[in-house]
Structure 1
Amino acid sequence: MRLPLTSALGLGLLCVQQVAGITPPPGAESLTACSDVSVRKEIRTLSSEEWNTYKSAVEGAKSDRWIDWFGYLHERVSSKIHGNSEFFVYHRKFINDYEKILRGYEPNVVLPYWNTMIDYQNPSGSPVLGDKYFGGNGATGECVSTGLANSWNFTYLGNECLQRKFGEADSIVTWYSPEYVTSILQSSPTYAELRAGIENSLHGIVHLSIGGDMNTMHSPADPIFWLHHSNIDRVYAQWQAVDPDERTYMYDGTDSTGKEVSLNDKLTYTSTAAYEVMRLGYGNMCYTYDTIKAADGDSKSLLSTRQRKCKPRPSKATQTIQKLPVKLLTNYYPSFNKKKFSPLENEMSDITPKQPMAAECNKSFTPPKPSEKLRGKMPYPGRLSKDYIKMMNLNPKEVKAAEERARAMVDELNAANYLSPYLFDLDK
């Protein structure tokens, strides 16, 4: 089924009148609440039916060269949407447009996300990079030959294959941990600070270390791109939902030209204003995430508590980190230090790479014990290369600040003899 771009991007969900809640800024009053809100889930929690539906939609879009189109478009705009405040809002619209295209093939499909943080110790060993899902490292000529993207080729790229290039021995450098992202969520009072803390760390290291097409401007050619950016959007959405009155429409920092951004700024090469994509459940943003519950009293715009499959139980991982020295908590986990925090600013759950939501929805689930020999030996996350920083138009000072903060946090955690709940004995 081939879909014209104009009609495909017009595939929207019916909306109803806006309800009381967050006060929208001038211009946003016309956005209406969605009558149907889809829920994006972690890829490993999808049922067989949900996964097969997603695969079918992606394969249809690939056959009709939509994947080529999104890779081409991203390459054209990349220098304007990275390294500045447009990063979150542009990519929110970008992946939402992709999801609408997929619904032209499977009307009930919902874009999943990949919680890469829980795989930080051993990314190449993640089931997401296995045969069941998206395949692993490139083989001959760096071409991917397993998983969903098995033997993909792109006419846009001169009929080249989809490529990935991990590090030595098919391994990938350490990524950013749940501890790090939790710290950023709790320590970023402004949109600009959150953007710098996430784009220069979690976002970049996944692109760079998977390599191949993911380490290019046309990275949407790799199906992993969409789940990675869905996860980035989830982190942004959770940060917003911690304080919806203050953060839903917070937009500060500068654009690619150095100009101060405004809610009425049009996203690059679109007629969409920034404010139009900032509130989930309104306008064309008719979705939420399985980790988010109603934050503004509107059960239509965000997942309500009653809609959750279960009531989360206290996290042992959270309890472990709350016992750390007060000075360390003050520096990196101010909300934990106050003993009062929102679950939305906490990525410390009792989960494993194979059971990413198990602790929340299975009362009998007991998380495996981390390896005691790794106590006080939490690894540093990988660094971004100079070539990647230049290609993505990142600010080297911002990158250095993010990396130094992450390493200082690891040093202090190790000095406190901390044992990360997500470090396991890989030899077993």
Structure 2
Amino acid sequence: MTVTDCCDHTEVRVDATAWPDVALPRGGKLRGAAAGWLFAMATRRLPLSIEYPSRARGPRRDTRRAAGEVLPRMIIRDPDALFRRVGADGLIGFGEAFMAGDWTTDDLVGVLTPFAERVAELVPAPLQRLRTLVLPGHPDDEQNTVANTRSNISRHYDLSNDLFAAFLDETLSYSSAYFGTDEAAERADWDDLAAAQRAKIDRLLDQAGVGPGTRLLEIGTGWGELCLRAAERGAQVRSLTLSSEQRELALTRIAEAGHAERVRVDLLDYRLVDGEYDAVVSVEMLEAVGREYWPEYFRTVQRVLAPGGRAAIQVITMPHERMLASGSTYTWVHKYIFPGGCLPSIEALREVVATATDLTVTDELALGRHYARTLRLWRERFRAQSALIGRLGFDAVFERMWTFYLAYSEAGFRAGYLDVYQLRLDKPAVAAPPD
């Protein structure tokens, strides 16, 4: 079952104690009316069918389409609640409205993809400049200081190991797989996912030169699959995490595989790590660092790498112009999924590496289409496991929230708004002379 099979008629019962922002539309009628007008103007040329309770379509829409094309349907059940939320909190309110059931669809990725493709054009430029005045800002306690970061990580990764196991493959890899080619990614199904996750890890280990006797530092443990693959190569691994739940399960998996003597997993902020390593690997952890800390992250990689060492990093990116425009924006993803998160552009990463370190980027591989497929497979699995997720104690609002998150992310990669890169960074064998 896919996410689109059950979104259309799901009844959502909102617990105002657990989900206060979702339960009660906020903001006045004036803002709601303005948001409704902006929404109608922004969506009139999108390849969507917007359906209201009265079946009215709002302003005249551009309905030109290819012969036989069926447009994705956005079904608005409670326009007043939807537009009040959007008027109060912008796109945060748009996501909350889906969580509450104010709007739904039988093709969530199909609805969200046109929004992702045109995100820079949806709101007129003069109004975009006002967003910091009218929309919420980042909470101080979500800044990625050493004091705050563990809490940010815990809010996502410590939800429940059983929750993640419900929709991840046997490797428990929570990052983009690598299917070999874009064409293979388009054809891949669930049975291909575990092998593709191992292929992703193996490519990173190859890029970092990990083999027998390599001293490897991993920044961001996940549930331990990379540790296992590296230990099988004969490496000596130290891995860092801020998730106590992940660490516990990773240590169990490592011990069961017989690699406890080769792998050490520490509950430690990357900024506090010591030692010298031949290789550093980090998979989709940089997104949680925060823009102001990117230089420190790469300086840490440089500091711990032995002369001539290599790093391999996998990281999600966004377009440079959107990174600059949205850098101060507090989003639905920040509020509900990844507090403190910040996606870089590939241009920003190249610049930070060049200006903050003496590391050199020697290889880049973009895997956006592979991530779109990975997310689709996770999303389908998540929906198929709905009953299990309910038994774990997660309610209907949580399920719609994560459905939205997975579909929103897939739409971003399908639209090309998001990408994901594997980067190889080399440290000189001889230190550069001081200026």
**Fold-level similarity (TM above 0.5):** no
What's the TM-score, normalizing by structure 2?
A: 0.26
Hey, which of these two has a bigger chunk of strand by percent? Answer: 2
Give the greater-gyration-radius structure (CA). Answer: 2
